Amino acid sequence: MSHILDIKTGGKSLNEAEKALVMIHGRGGSAQDILSLSQHLNVEGYALLAPQATNGTWYPFSFMAPVEQNEPWLSSAVENVGKTVQTALDAGIKAENIYFFGFSQGACLTLEFLARNAQRFGGAVAIIGGVIGEKINRENYQGDFAKTPVFLGTSNPDFHVPVERVYATANILKEMNADVTEKVYANFGHSINQEEIELANSIVFK
């Protein structure tokens, strides 16, 4: 089985915008839900692109499960993020003007896509997520982010995402020349807080 490509849009049209924001929703969420978050971000004038996961989930098991347990959904999900990015590129938006925002399962998918396809992007925000797999396969991650700003926010503890995986992800992105800021909130819960939005705006959407 694989995901059907279904991109919901908001903001400016791709022909008018100079920047694009790819927004990736979490398990049980929707593209429309995550698009509504954009009203809190400094993304006026951006084209907003949010792919919808088939059946509301990008892959069936935990992101810390062995990768083969999440196939073929995981590969299809990564491919759909790539197709969403390609939609912006095809409209003439440069990679350095393409931004990302992902939450929870969507943050994991965002980070996995970016680490596999490192180059200079506009920036990325990943709230409660890390690269995917029971063990990290560093060989999967190639390229140079050329100082792309990345903000990682998370709660500790978090039922789904161990803080150790967030730190490990930050280290990989730094090795690949991303400009990473990570912020850990004690006992905040599995959600997005106001300070994370403010940091996203000051670090990435400036």
Range of the domain at 171: 7-203
**Which burial class, exposed, middle or buried, applies to 166 when counting CB atoms under 10 A from its CB (0-12, 13-18, 19+)?**
buried
The reply to whether 57 falls in a domain is: yes
The reply to whether 59 falls in a domain is: yes
The reply to whether 196 falls in a domain is: yes
Predicted local distance difference test score (pLDDT) of residue 48: 99
Asked whether residue 158 carries a pLDDT value surpassing 90, the answer given is yes
The reply to whether 2 falls in a domain is: no
The reply to whether 164 falls in a domain is: yes
Which residues touch 44 (CB under 8 Å, ≥6 apart)?
11
Predicted local distance difference test score (pLDDT) of residue 161: 96
The reply to whether 1 falls in a domain is: no
Predicted local distance difference test score (pLDDT) of residue 189: 86
The reply to whether 85 falls in a domain is: yes
Q: How many domains does the chain have?
A: 1
Which residues touch 177 (CB under 8 Å, ≥6 apart)?
118, 144, 145, 146, 147
Q: What is the DSSP letter of 97?
A: G
Predicted local distance difference test score (pLDDT) of residue 117: 98
Give pLDDT tens digits for 173-200. 999 999 999 999 998 989 999 999 999 9
Residue type, 86: Q
Residue 101's CATH number: 3.40.50.1820
Query: Please, are residues 37 and 23 in contact by the beta-carbon 8 Å criterion?
Result: yes
Q: What are the start-end ranges of the H helices in the chain? A: 31-36, 73-90, 105-116, 163-175, 194-203
The reply to whether 156 falls in a domain is: yes
